[in-house]
Structure 1
């Protein structure tokens, strides 16, 4: 089915050619999983959107208004992914911020991505990407509109058996996957990379860290990742997905991965995502 889309609250499928989101990537987005009319992680998404708008100096949208528009977009969809895009709006040519910005919001509902059931049971295959993420602390953590690094990283392979790629920074520190955050159990400790230099601080990642406070956030090397006893991905759209292999290294979904999958299920999401 085609996406259902509202632009500034009205049904539409086109944006102004001079919008700064289109011209400069000057904006943010959130991808929110709905089950019927329920979005279990909505508060976390709105918190990240609010904090990121403040960092970019974009006026924060009215979250009550966004919720009303979300319900219109996902109406009668048993499972959906809602994308909220907020840009700085139309501006004059040039990088200078508009004196009186008029942000544009796009609320669009899509059918969820298809993920085979076996991915949640046995895990997925990954590879290490050649692309290295650039470091920019001023943008680190945000889900801003410039995703060219992820686009180029995903273009590195076309083997359908490989579901994801590991992204490292210029110092070969592991940061994330192309569309998800990454966790590894190393020497019995759950680790996830720090994202103060680059990468997206995912909403599902925040949920895992809140659920399992023993987890540590810090540097994760590729060698440590390859030596981990279990590895999994976190995504607000796909949930908790075990990693079966990374290149020639194999893993088995462990007890902690299963525990967090159960937590995801108890939030209101199905284990298989019904996608």
Structure 2
């Protein structure tokens, strides 16, 4: 189901900037028991992204209400919210765009995540690297061609997810998830000031880890650091956290970090 500017439809104008330039941003939320989990965080993410991209969207209360209405109708599943700069103009200049477009859609929950949580996910190193761009780093903008290529290469392997480096060779994220790895009581996660998406579940995990016996450190690290870890977990708003079973030839057997994070990430919240 699609809701575009408050109307049930699945047609977007050909001159919408999302179609022409990928000019917009989005967030993907889990619907559980008819409620949008981390609703406030998803709205704040969109607000921050629109401000950074200079998209003059202001109907935040209306968007929040539409998201909640769709969630109640769906029950359980996935809600995706997209904001584009809107329609207008042929070239790159945004000056002809006066009215941003908001688009919502709902779909079933990914069927494979419960199996991954039970058995662990398999990672493969992606040959596709993320370009470094500090102005766009952390944002979930609509320019996702890198992720499309990462996924296309991943589907040529028997792995479940891809470990992705940036163009300088630093560990950054997975195709559709953020990444943590543990060595003893120290938990590492990549710095995302040059590339990657700063996910809502990543922030949630960091917040809880800061109050735990674990010490969390954001780092620039090479892939060998992940290979030598005691444990690796991945996370996003839908998973919400999953243990990694293997990466290349390395097998991870510990679930100490996963066992700590899993119940905290499963707690239903709309804030």
Once the 2 structures are TM-superposed, how far is the Cα of residue 28 of structure 1 from its aligned partner? 0.2
C-alpha distance 53-140 of structure 1, shift in aligned 2 (>3 A)? same
2:43 maps to 46
C-alpha distance 94-74 of structure 1, shift in aligned 2 (>3 A)? same
C-alpha distance 100-165 of structure 1, shift in aligned 2 (>3 A)? closer
1:217 aligns to 2:214 (yes or no): no
1:55 aligns to 2:56 (yes or no): no
Once the 2 structures are TM-superposed, how far is the Cα of residue 42 of structure 1 from its aligned partner? 1.1
Rounded to whole Å, the distance in 1 between the matches of 2:254 and 2:84 is 39
Aligned length: 266
Native 8 Å contact 1:122 1:252 kept in 2: no
Structure 2 gap ranges (5+)? none
Rounded to whole Å, the distance in 1 between the matches of 2:153 and 2:257 is 31
Rounded to whole Å, the distance in 2 between the matches of 1:145 and 1:100 is 17
Once the 2 structures are TM-superposed, how far is the Cα of residue 116 of structure 1 from its aligned partner? 5.0
2:167 maps to 170
Native 8 Å contact 1:124 1:163 kept in 2: yes
1:14-40 Cα offsets, whole Å, 9 max, x none, are: 000000111000000010111122223
Once the 2 structures are TM-superposed, how far is the Cα of residue 100 of structure 1 from its aligned partner? 5.2
Structure 1: 4+ residue segments shifted above 2 A: 60-63, 71-78, 157-161, 265-269
2:20 maps to 23
1:224-260 Cα offsets, whole Å, 9 max, x none, are: 0000000000110110010000011111242121110
Indicate which of 99, 109, 121 corresponds to 1:112: 109
C-alpha distance 196-116 of structure 1, shift in aligned 2 (>3 A)? closer
1:256 maps to 257
Indicate which of 179, 182, 200 corresponds to 2:179: 182
Structure 1 gap ranges (5+)? 270-275
Please give the root-mean-square deviation of Cα atoms over the aligned residues, in Å. Answer: 1.7
1:229 aligns to 2:224 (yes or no): no
Q: Equivalent residue of 1:170, what SS? A: coil
- TM-score by length of structure 1 reads 0.92
- Superposition pairs of residues 73-222 of structure 1, within 5 angstroms: 73-98=70-95, 101-115=98-112, 117-158=114-155, 161-213=158-210, 214-222=215-223
- TM-score by length of structure 2 reads 0.93
1:201-241 Cα offsets, whole Å, 9 max, x none, are: 00100101111113111212100000000000011011001
Once the 2 structures are TM-superposed, how far is the Cα of residue 101 of structure 1 from its aligned partner? 2.3
